[in-house]
Structure 1
């Protein structure tokens, strides 16, 4: 059935809570192969998410939050997102994010990319950089 409203139902959850459950115009998410945007009528798919910034567009404007690793499922004008954690801009501790970024950069510099720990530290770096990027975006609005 065709959706004439142009809206999609977005559900975003973590193991601890339901973060968002609402109708939105679109959502952009950080996929393993890069960012992607879902609009009404999108082809169904399932994908892995990586740490980054989720961008949600609804009738009141744009909302952005950091998301951790997880999965997104798109089907029938519904987007279901399950991630390990989320952070809104006002929940981010900037000093902690800077410390974590520096720690990750230091560890990565000392590791060979084939070391099993390399991807874990690369993931931590993405989380820290996403937090700092989102804070920067909020400040520059």
Structure 2
């Protein structure tokens, strides 16, 4: 079975590096599946999960908070501001961030940055969903 090398990199360093048979991710224009031999392209990513199907039939999940995906026939590179594998997500911290973001969005104060609060809400929900397997 053919494979493609996948590297997920953040400003803090590598977050994932492995051979997989398929990559499924959410771009700003919709969901995209990548198989070995895919045509070269670059696309902006939305906040979402990256699903990585491995040769042994297992699947890895990584929560990303946007970024870019670069696809070549034999390699997929994802550059993201942050990325966490499902197993390494601190759910308690994500739930606290969700509560804070919801509180900011419900606040009637004028000095609240609603775009930033919405982004924080999306990131927290994504992290919780990836950890719990609700993808």
Q: Are residues 1:103 and 2:100 paired?
A: yes
- Change in Cα spacing, 1:107 to 1:11, as seen in structure 2 (3 Å) is same
> Runs of at least 4 residues of structure 1 off by over 4 A?
none
Shift of residue 116, structure 1, vs aligned partner: 9.4
**Aligned equivalent of 1:133:** 129
Larger strand fraction of residues: 2
Confirm or deny: 8 A CA contact 2:104 2:112 kept in the other structure: no
User: SS where residue 100 of structure 1 aligns?
Assistant: helix
Name structure 2 gaps, 5 residues minimum.
none
Give the match for residue 94 of structure 1.
91
Report the count of equivalent residues: 131
After superposition, the Cα gap between the structure-2 partners of 1:44 and 1:110, relative to the gap in structure 1 and judged at 3 Å, is: farther
Q: Does 1:62 align with 2:89?
A: no
- Whole-angstrom distance in 2 between the partners of 1:31 and 1:88: 18
Work out the CA distance in 2 between the residues paired with 1:33 and 1:126: 17
Q: What RMSD in Å do the two structures reach over aligned CA positions?
A: 2.3
